[in-house]
Each structure stands twice: as C-alpha cells, then as structure tokens.
Amino acid sequence: MTEATKFTLDDLAPLMRDIDFALLTTQTEDGRLASRPMSNNAEVDYDGNSFYFAWEDSRLVRDIRRSPHVGLGFQASKGILGKPPMFIAVQGEAEVFRDKATFADHWTHGLEHWFTQGVDTPGVAMIKVHAKRIHCWNGVDQGEVLLPDSTAG
C-alpha cells in the first residue's frame, strides 16, 4: 500500500453523485452499533453533508438524538482517474429536523416508495450528516479527505 494520499471533496463529489445507498451506523442505547442502508438520493453534489429521509419515531432517529456521532460507508462503482472502485468511510455528526422546505430541496423521484405523500408524509423526518473525517481506499491508494472546517486526526 502506498503512503497516505490527500483527497479533496472535489475529488469525491463526482463519485458520490453516482452512489445510491450508504450504510449509516449509529450507537444504540446499550452502546452497540446499529447499521442500516439509507438512500443517498444520488443526483447530489457532495459537499461534506449527506441528507436522508427517515421515520421520526424510528430507532435510527432515537439513536441520533441520544448520540449524534455516526458513521457512513459508501462504495463507488468507479475510482478516481480510472483506478479501482473507491471505498469511503465518513465519521460525522447527525442532526434530525422537520423542515419541509429542506425536504423539498433533497426530494428525489422514487422516495415516494417509502413516503407516499412526499414531503407532506406524516411522521417523516430528515437526517443531515456533517462529515468530520473521511477516509478513502481504492485498492492502491488510501488516505484522508481534506475538510475545510475540521482537522484530521
């Protein structure tokens, strides 16, 4: 493996746009880890923030309200500059909110499969994960993403 490479959000944005699902990990009330697939809503320009729709009364939302520290796992189908696929691990802080204007900004076709009344679906909430640290691996290179407002460590 080569020494650590520094990636930027601009390097990741095109790869993240093509990823439809992420694995979101929270910490449960007894300290265990719980992971579940979440639609990444694709068609977005990744800027260090990820948005997910969820049910307000779900364990996922309860976990985040108790402890906002979460992990996200992604696998891009292609790598940077023709390299093998990129694996991306995000450590971040999540918040839950119910703002229909923000819902509308992040709504994509297909979400009505789960939320039949769109942004007006009763009990729907939005989770925003703000990346604090991002690691990437592509089978050759591995490293950290340089984030503008946090330090790697």
Residue type, 51: F
**Residue ranges of the domains in the chain?**
5-146
CATH topology of domain 5-146: Pnp Oxidase; Chain A (2.30.110)
Residues 6+ apart with CB under 8 A from 5: 136, 141, 142, 143
Rg (CA), the chain: 16
CA 44 from centroid of its chain's CA atoms: 11
Residue 122 is predicted with a pLDDT of 94
Say what the pTM is.
Answer: 0.85
- 15-57 confidence digits (pLDDT tens): 777 788 899 999 999 999 999 999 876 656 788 899 999 999 9
